[in-house]
Chain A
Amino acid sequence: DTGVSQDPRHKITKRGQNVTFRCDPISEHNRLYWYRQTLGQGPEFLTYFQNEAQLEKSRLLSDRFSAERPKGSFSTLEIQRTEQGDSAMYLCASSKGSRVAIRDTQYFGPGTRLTVL
């Protein structure tokens, strides 16, 4: 069973540039999540998709951030006009969508580490 994959693993960019990250969930997982993790902190939720529908967005997701999941499979997260404060690890997770909602386990990818110079 292939796990969640993310690409690229590392990205260095200059302030003001746009960046795009990709996440491929575990096959047959209909739920996909994006989190951001800064140094020394736990991950913070950004957004959630069920199939292709974006159902939840955190207030952390400013208008410079956009996420898509066009066919309910892979997802992309784009950051426009990057700022130094965007430097973080961006984690993607997927889940099957359990009948018992609270036990729907999220499985994470290896993350994309973004550095904005």
Chain B
Amino acid sequence: AQKITQTQPGMFVQEKEAVTLDCTYDTSDQSYGLFWYKQPSSGEMIFLIYQGSYDEQNATEGRYSLNFQKARKSANLVISASQLGDSAMYFCAMREGPGGAQKLVFGQGTRLTINP
């Protein structure tokens, strides 16, 4: 069963606008972590932001914030004031635990293109 679903294959946004990238997940664990990574065309996966299932506040890191809705099992990434350098693939990933596997399970990604 698909554990992480990213329904937007591609998004096109004007520079300086905010953008929301969707991510829904499926797990029966009460304890899990959700991660977002950015992958530019160079290929490296860059860690952006983390949200734990027990965290009461939505995570924020600079221009990145996470809209975490536990009951809906969604963890959408919000990028404020988008920049040309934000153009990349974005992946949502989940880690179950603490007794679960150490691996991250990734979605299929969303390609974000920022237009000048």
The verdict on A41 contacting chain B, using a C-beta distance below 8 Å, is yes
Contact B103 A56 (CB under 8 A): yes
Given A40, A56, A107, which contacts B101 in the complex, CB threshold below 8 Å?
A56
Q: Which listed segment binds A: B12-20, B63-71, B91-99?
A: B91-99
> Closest approach, in angstroms, between the C-beta of A60 and any C-beta of chain B?
11
When distances are taken between beta carbons in the complex, the residues of chain A under 8 Å from B60 are: none
Contacts across chains A and B counted by CB atoms under 8 Å: 74
Given A40, A91, A102, A105, which contacts B53 in the complex, CB threshold below 8 Å?
A102
Q: A40-B108, A111-B43 are in contact. Are A45 and B50 (CB under 8 A)?
A: no
Contact B44 A42 (CB under 8 A): no
> Closest approach, in angstroms, between the C-beta of A53 and any C-beta of chain B?
12
Contact A110 B108 (CB under 8 A): no
Given B37, B98, B106, which contacts A102 in the complex, CB threshold below 8 Å?
B98
Interface string of A79-94 (1 = CB under 8 A from B): 0000000000101010
The verdict on B35 contacting chain A, using a C-beta distance below 8 Å, is yes
21 A/B residue pairs, CB under 8 Å, sorted by A:
A33-B104, A35-B104, A41-B109, A42-B91, A42-B108, A43-B104, A45-B104, A48-B103, A56-B103, A100-B52, A100-B98, A102-B31, A102-B52, A102-B96, A102-B97, A104-B102, A107-B47, A108-B37, A110-B43, A110-B44, A111-B44
- Leading 4 A-B pairs by shortest Cβ distance: A42-B106, A45-B103, A102-B33, A108-B45
Residues of A whose CB lies within 8 Å of any CB of B are 31, 33, 35, 40-45, 48, 55-56, 58, 89, 91, 93, 100-111, 113
